[in-house]
Amino acid sequence: MSPHPHRALSGPSNSPGRPDERDERVGKATSGEIVRPTRLTEQQFWALADIPAEAEWFANIRNKHTRRAYKLDVHDFLNFTGIDVVGIRAVTRPHVIAWRKDLERRQLSPSTIRRKLSALSALFGYLCEYNANYLNPVNGVERPAADANEGKTPAIGDAQARALLACPSSDTLKGKRDGALLATFLYHGLRAEELVKLKVKDVQERRGVKHFRVHGKGSKIRYVPVHPAALDRIDAYTAAAGHALDLEGALFRPTKVAAGAIIEKAIAYRSVYDVIKRYAVAANIPVAEFCVHSLRATAATNALDNGSDIAKVQEWLGHANVSTTRLYDKRKTRAEDSPTFKVAY
């Protein structure tokens, strides 16, 4: 008898060389050629069937940065308890409380401790959902209080934003690209990863208005109207770079290429940070407190300050919860509104 009795349960099958008509219909590529469906080998099938639910959870986190952070957080817990990922199903609430106390002993910030507990809770929530665990031991474990009034990412003032936009030269290709890049951040509040993913075809017209087709977190698509000031810079940049009609290529690309060559790949994620830091120095913005995400916070605060509804800003930024959007609202910390400047003797 086969060691895997399920193997006896077989329906109509086709040999790899003879896909049925339906497979041929759904497998046709745009070129008209037939793309034959892939078939797992028996060894591959049973190997996949043996993958534990813990590994499935990691694989289902699509955002690579979230996946990396959660993986590090879970491994931190595993190192503390001295177990492997399979033994995690024996974890109880006292284990989690002991870990939280150890995180506090290491003097990690409250937000970091909350994130680590959230990562572990997300894993156990997945295990419970798929009946791989009976309970979530993180439930009921007290977490450090979060500052719900304002996030830690600093925003810059309007004058600083104008100075930043004025820094790139309009006489060079790099200056044109960097000017368009800064304008895309400051006028639309995109995440760095969202900007890097933009393709030329993602600048598209909807009801007579140019929009960005933004690939956000969780594979969610949202459409953001393009500000005229940013559109002018983008048009000038793509015309100078020569890829305005290369619809499938990246919108923002490296500029260090051979003379006359056109490169399709996107600017590197790390390079975006370097560009922002370079111009922050040129605009006399404190680099130690400034980052790419500051431009997102600046755009959100400016939109709210000029009368935009917070629910609209939430949708604009691609936030799942309005409480996250409130963390980007820096209006309460504007120095010019402080009573300090109302005092007169």
Query: Quick one: pLDDT at residue 196?
Result: 94
Query: Quick one: pLDDT at residue 40?
Result: 75
- Amino acid at site 105: R
Between 162 and 47, the higher pLDDT residue? 162
- Single out the residue of 288, 313, 183 nearest to residue 237, CA to CA: 183
Is the pLDDT score of 135 beyond 50? yes
pLDDT band at 237 (very low <50, low <70, confident <90, very high): very high
Residues labelled as active-site residues: 191, 217, 293, 296, 319, 328
Rg (CA), the chain: 26
Q: Mean of the pLDDT values across residues 25-46? A: 63
pTM across the whole model: 0.64
Q: Mean of the pLDDT values across residues 304-316? A: 88
Edge-first strand order for the sheet with 209-215 is 203-206, 209-215, 221-225
- Ranges of H-type helices in 29-172: 42-49, 53-59, 64-81, 93-105, 110-129, 158-166
Query: Quick one: pLDDT at residue 17?
Result: 42
What is the residue-averaged pLDDT of the chain?
81
Most confident of the ranges 47-61, 107-121, 156-170:
156-170
pLDDT band at 129 (very low <50, low <70, confident <90, very high): confident
Domains of the chain: 20-146 (1.10.150.130), 158-332 (1.10.443.10)
Is the pLDDT score of 16 beyond 70? no
Most confident of the ranges 223-232, 303-312, 329-338:
223-232
Q: Mean of the pLDDT values across residues 105-122? A: 89
Query: Quick one: pLDDT at residue 110?
Result: 87
Residue 197, Cα to own-chain centre: how many angstroms? 10
Query: Quick one: pLDDT at residue 295?
Result: 93
Q: Mean of the pLDDT values across residues 162-185? A: 95
pLDDT band at 269 (very low <50, low <70, confident <90, very high): confident
Give 198's contacts (C-beta < 8 A, 6+ positions apart): 184, 212, 214, 215, 250, 251, 252, 266
Query: Quick one: pLDDT at residue 14?
Result: 40
Is the pLDDT score of 177 beyond 50? yes
Is the pLDDT score of 153 beyond 90? no
